[in-house]
Structure 1
Amino acid sequence: MTPGAFDPTAPGALALIALLGARVGGLLLIAPALSGRPVPMMVRTALLVLLTMVLLPASAAAAAGGAVPRVTAATLLCETLIGMALGLGAAVFVGAAEAAGDLISVQMGLSAAAVLDPVTQQSTPTLASFTRLFATALLFAVGGHLAMIGALASSVDLLPVGGEIDAADGLRAMVMLGGELFVLGLRFAAPVAAALLVSNVALGILARTMPQLNALIVAFPVQIGLGLFTLGVALPYVAAPFASWPLSYEAVTSRLLDAFMP
């Protein structure tokens, strides 16, 4: 193949299209707001075809001079894994916000007030749905979708389509990144969790010093009101890290792609 151009009649052209489509599909499978039932299948298919066509010249240039790619179950799985790793780098931030919403819901006593989440098709606390949608909106506001496409383009240069990868190290890096989700979620929920913990202690002391006080009746409105107030105050500070999210995402994806390099 000629560098910088894509020749559909060249040997391995169809294999290159299939493998690149698998990598793009892996990203769309996990990327926030691009996966799940709310996004129609026609839209996801159109995105898959469009991104594959846009990245074909760069993929052909990266594969020029190398071995002709072959479509096998192993190569398709490896390409999908690379795309999923790029999507995971973005999904961790949104997942952390949802985990924070879950934690806050439990402490506020709202965990029982669950609604059907159209994304996961599961019953999710309303506050967790709100924090996930809030994080997704911030992600698009700071250009997260462009950062994901940029990472996909960079991956074609670092890991040529159909080339060899170190899947074991890549999977290990993905698992370690998934573990960071809970740490980020705890950091996001920390201000509200701390305020609710103090209120729980205060209500416990009041219940001991004033036996006639019905702590259960008083606790629910206090916990819900204080939790929502603290969440509203803390949201600007919690949202601040998302302003530099593209840089953080670039560092995360660079680490993941380095792990996949043979």
Structure 2
Amino acid sequence: MHSLIFGLPDVFAPGVATALVLTALRVGGLLLVAPAWSAKSVPMRLRAALIVLFAVLLLPAALESADRSGLAITPATFLAETVVGFALGFAAALVVAGVEFAGELATNTIGLSGAAIFDPLGNTQGALFASFLQLLAVTLLLLAGGHLLMIEAVAKSFTVMPLGGPLALDRGFLPLVKAGAQLFASGLQFAAPVIAAILLTNLALAVLGRAAPQLQVMSLAFPLQIGVGLLTFAGSIGLVVQALGGWTTPYHQTLDSFARAAQVAPAPAMGASR
């Protein structure tokens, strides 16, 4: 292979330009849904520049396992490379989406559904606690180097699923759908303390209202529900942070399940270290 300065491959060599385009498609699929990378606040020009930059940097890794003589840009390869990148970003987006869903449940349970707040990542109005937990999850993800981990996953994916190689996308989507179900399960687990506290508060108020009808229970219900909900939510943030600390394990498991299902020929697991 002819090489340029810095060890980058010669784009004029046979198959290298095609590999660069396919690599950019895989990176673009990742940036389409990956947390932080897919934020609407990121300018489109910057996102396009990142796709080109990452594609150039990952091109040597892509060429190591690719059959350059058989590479071609077709509708099938276009879709396959985009879907692979999408799966890499979708697995990480599930973590943030689960926490955001917990915030939605907590906000509605406490009774603050009308208190919308601006979401800087999506440039939309969102639930109060949902936006807070989303920003918390993305911040923890960035502090833990999750943005670099996703780019590393793209580099490792070339060994498991080479550029232009045959993929069984219909089988690969099934693990992604199953992983999507964890969004609701994790969201309910994160919001469970708030839901339980509000349920117990309402039960206590109902018993108090029956035992002492002269009390104006309804006038106390709403502020008491908000107070108990806020205190419980504040106390449960530590549990959410602790759970997010181990997000890489389910991330690798989702990627491994997708890769094994989509592979036509056996290959190493994506979560395995080099």
TM-score bracket for the superposition, by shorter chain length: over 0.9
Q: 1:112 aligns with which of 111, 114, 120?
A: 114
- CA shift at 1:21, angstroms? 0.6
Query: Which residue in the other structure is 1:250 paired with?
Result: 252
Aligned to 2:259, the other structure's residue is in SS state: helix
Does residue 138 of the first structure (1) align with residue 140 of the second (2)? yes
Contact 2:2/2:13 (8 A) holds in 1: no
> Are 1:18 and 2:21 counterparts?
yes
Q: Does 1:52 align with 2:59?
A: no
Which of 187, 190, 205 is the matching residue for 2:189? 187
- Cα displacement (A) at 1:73: 1.7
Gaps spanning 5+ residues in structure 2: where?
265-274
CA contact (8 A) 2:15 2:69 kept: no
- Could you tell me how far apart the structure 2 residues matched to 1:118 and 1:242 are? 21
Q: How many angstroms does 1:216 deviate by?
A: 3.2
Shift of 1:115: 3.1
| Structure 2 letter corresponding to 1:29 | L
| Correspondence for 1:63 among 50, 63, 66 | 66
CA distance in 2, matches of 1:116, 1:237: 25
Query: Given the alignment, which residue of 214, 239, 262 partners 2:216?
Result: 214
Q: Which amino acid aligns with 2:16?
A: A
Aligned to 2:272: none
CA offset at residue 102 of structure 1? 0.6
Q: Please identify runs of 4+ aligned residues in structure 1 that moved more than 6 A.
A: 2-5
TM-score normalised per structure 2: 0.89
Q: How many angstroms apart in 2 are the aligned matches of 1:60 and 1:2?
A: 12
Equivalent residue number for residue 126 of structure 1: 128
For structure 1, which segment, 188-197 or 4-13, has the greater mean C-alpha deviation from structure 2 after superposition? 4-13
Once the 2 structures are TM-superposed, how far is the Cα of residue 255 of structure 1 from its aligned partner? 1.8
CA contact (8 A) 2:31 2:37 kept: yes
- Give how far 1:13 is off: 2.0
Name the CA shift for 1:237/1:115 in 2 (closer, same or farther; >3 Å): closer
Amino acid corresponding to residue 108 of structure 2 in structure 1: V
Structure 1: any 5+ residue segments left out of the alignment?
none
* Contact 1:96 1:182 (C-alpha < 8 Å) held by counterparts: yes
Q: State the distance in 2 between where 1:137 and 1:248 align.
A: 18
Residue 259 (structure 1) aligned with residue 261 (structure 2): yes
Q: CA deviation at 1:181?
A: 0.6
Q: Which amino acid aligns with 1:123?
A: Q
SS in 1 for 2:70: coil
Measure the CA separation in 2 of the matches of 1:116 and 1:132.
Answer: 12
Partners of 2:120 and 2:220 lie apart in 1 by 34
Aligned-pair identity (%): 42
Cα drift, residue 67 of structure 1: 4.3
**Paired amino acid for 1:226:** V
2:270 maps to: none
Structure 1 residue 145, shift from structure 2 partner: 1.2
For residue 103 of structure 1, report the CA deviation from its aligned partner: 0.5
Partner AA of 1:212 in structure 2: Q
- With over 3 angstroms needed to count, the CA separation of the structure-2 counterparts of 1:97 and 1:57, relative to structure 1, is same
Kept after mapping to 2: 8 A contact 1:23/1:80: yes
Q: Distance in 2 between matches of 1:161 and 1:24?
A: 12
TM-score (norm 1): 0.93
| Further displaced range: 52-61 or 236-245 | 236-245
SS across alignment from 1:188: helix
- Tell me how far 1:215 sits from its aligned partner: 3.1
Describe the superposition over 1:174-207 as per-residue Cα deviations: whole angstroms up to 9, x where unpaired.
1111111101111111112111111111112122
Which residue is 1:147 aligned to? 149
Aligned to 1:30: 33
Equivalent residue runs for 1:81-96 within 5 Å: 81-96=83-98
